[in-house]
Structure 1
Amino acid sequence: MVNTSDELTKNSENTLKLFVVLTRALQSIEKQIVKDIKSHGLNLTEFSVLELLYHKGQQPIQRIGQKILLASSSITYVVDKLEKKDYLERKACPNDRRVTYAAISDNGSELMDEIFPKHVNAMNEILGGLDSDEKELMIDQLKKLGYHAQGL
C-alpha cells in the first residue's frame, strides 16, 4: 500500500514533468508552425490577423488583439504593415467615428485562398503524431486543465 507522502511526492513530480512536457511540446509545435507561415512571406501575427479577417469578416481594430491574443498596442503596427502590403483595408464605422474596422482586401483574400489550404496541410503534418481519437482526447484534457487553472 502506498502512503500519502509517496502519493503527494509522485503527484508533485508528475505536475512538474507535465509542465515541462507541455511547454516543450508547445515550443516544438509553434516552431514548425512559424516556419510554415514564414514560408508564405508572413509572420505569425500577420497571418493570425489575416486568418481572422478571412474567416470572420471585417473586425473592429480594437477587438482584433483580444481575438488573437495580442496586445492592443501591437495591433496598429500589424494592421499598418498589412495595409502597406495591400492585404487589408481600414473602413470607418458609419455609426461611430471612434471605431475603425479592418477588412481583408481582394489581394489578402487571394493570398489566403492560396496559402490557407497549404497551412492546413502543414498543421495536419505537424500535429500528425496523434490520430483523430487521440486529438479529441487531448482537446478534452487540455480544456479541463485550462478551465481549472482559469478558475484559480
Structure 2
Amino acid sequence: MKTKKSYGEKNDLNLKTLIALTKCFHSVRKRETTTIREGGLTLPQFAVLEILYHKGDLRICDIIEGTLSTGGNMTVVIDNLAKDGLVGRYPDPEDRRASLISLTEKGVKIMEDIFPRHVENISSIFQILEEDEKKTLVKLLKKLGGVEL
C-alpha cells in the first residue's frame, strides 16, 4: 500500500490548491469552448474576432496583448480568418509600417450569432455561484495573479 507523501502542511495545502485551480480552469475552459466550436471556430480565432467585435480595428500587437497570445501563432490565426473572409487588413493611417485588422461583414455576422450564445453558456457555467461569491472569486484571482484591483 502506498503512503501519502507530505511536504509539510502549508506546502501540501499549496499543492492541493494548485491542483484544484488547474482542474477548475480546464473544466470551465472545456465547457466555455462548446459554443465556440459549434460556431466552427477555434478558441484563438474566437478570441481575435471577439476583441475586434468589442474594441474595433486593432494592430496585431494590440490583438496579441488583448488576447494573451503569442506573435507567431497570431499571424497564422489572422491569416486563416482573412482567408475565410472574416477579417481584413489595411494600412494604419498613423503608422504606414503597421496594419490594422478589422472585422468584415461576414465576421460581424458570425459574432452576432455566436456571442449571445457564448454569453448564455458562460452564464450557465457560473450560475452555481452567488453574486457575492463571483465578486470574491474575481478579487482572489486578481490577487493571486498579481493584478491590480
The answer to whether TM tops 0.5 is yes
CA distance in 2, matches of 1:120, 1:10: 40
* Partner in structure 2 of residue 107 of structure 1: 106
CA distance in 2, matches of 1:109, 1:17: 43
Deviation for aligned residue 1:111: 1.2
Describe how 1:71-90 pairs up with structure 2 within 5 A.
Answer: 71-90=70-89
- 1:122 is the counterpart of 2:83: no
Deviation for aligned residue 1:93: 1.3
Q: Once structures 1 and 2 are overlaid, which stretch shifts more, 62-71 or 118-127?
A: 62-71
Describe how 1:1-150 pairs up with structure 2 within 5 A.
Answer: 9-147=8-146
Instruction: Determine helix, strand or coil for the equivalent of 1:98.
Output: strand
Deviation for aligned residue 1:108: 0.8
Unmatched 5+ residue regions in structure 1? 1-7
CA distance in 1, matches of 2:41, 2:129: 27
CA distance in 2, matches of 1:69, 1:95: 24
Deviation for aligned residue 1:82: 0.7
Q: CA RMSD in A?
A: 1.7
Dislocated runs of 4+, deviation >6 Å:
none
Unmatched 5+ residue regions in structure 2? 1-6
Q: TM-score, normalised by structure 2?
A: 0.89
